[in-house]
A = this chain, B = another copy of it.
Amino acid sequence: MATGRNHRPATTRSRGIPEATVARLPLYLRALTALSERSVPTVSSEELAAAAGVNSAKLRKDFSYLGSYGTRGVGYDVEYLVYQISRELGLTQDWPVVIVGIGNLGAALANYGGFASRGFRVAALIDADPSLTGRSVAGIDVKHTDQLEQIVDESGVSIGVIATPAGSAQQVCDRLVAAGITSILNFAPTVLSVPEGVDVRKVDLSIELQILAFHEQRKAGEEAPEEETAPPAVPPAAAVSKRPEPGSDGDRPAVMPA
């Protein structure tokens, strides 16, 4: 099942910069942008780290992968660092983005103010529902799925956002990839199979909540120690079947679909 072709190499250390560091650069950038707007000229690793919510040693190590952009005894020049990180992230160029699936979430994304700044531009909105076609969301006309290939081709987008129901996600993904898209942000709660060379990042609300629930449960358990520690006794034979409701779903979209 599942053509299991993704699996990010993990060891991708894209050009020497560790993935973990890349994932934090946007965080630093955000903090720096805020400082920049307040016209703060320089910032120390300690201050910036606090603003970004990491510790200073980590931040300095992260920056060391980019080069030596600080000044000992002084700190970092805010504007300079904003530029360097932006450049490293590729934000000095324009990134047209196409959003597929204009349901509640898709519409929310289309309206997302943070898109415009940072170099991302919503080039097109696409949905399979004909009744949406022609409508305008966030000032952008919604196009029908039929035109997907044409749109991707003409607008030269390389990043696609999938906000469709889980059931359509792989299909949409395949078409986006076939049309030439090489980066996908997936909001549908499903594992996407993509050929080598295509990047997929996923955002799944349900998963985040489940992780929170895990920790929350633990907290509760600490207060009132031992309560449900009854070790699972039933062996894989007449499999336990607690928590029924199998009729729920299990393959639902990240958010109300198109």
- Interface residues of chain A, those whose CB is within 8 Å of chain B, are 1-2, 4, 6-7, 12, 14-15, 22-23, 25-27, 29-31, 33-34, 36-37, 42, 47, 49-55, 67, 69-71, 76-80, 83-84, 86-93, 95, 97, 103-105, 107-109, 111-120, 158-159, 182-185, 189-191, 197, 199, 201, 203-219, 231-232, 234, 236-237, 239-243, 245-246, 248-256
- B95 contacts A213, CB within 8 Å? yes
From A199, A214, A251, residue with most partner B Cβ within 10 Å: A214
Counting every copy of the chain, the complex holds 2
Minimum CB–CB distance from A124 to chain B (whole Å) comes to: 16
- B205 contacts A201, CB within 8 Å? no
Minimum CB–CB distance from A49 to chain B (whole Å) comes to: 8
Q: Which residues of B contact A118 (CB under 8 A)?
A: 206, 209-210
Q: Which residues of B contact A241 (CB under 8 A)?
A: 79, 83
Known contacts A33-B250, A80-B236; A104/B113 CB under 8 A: no
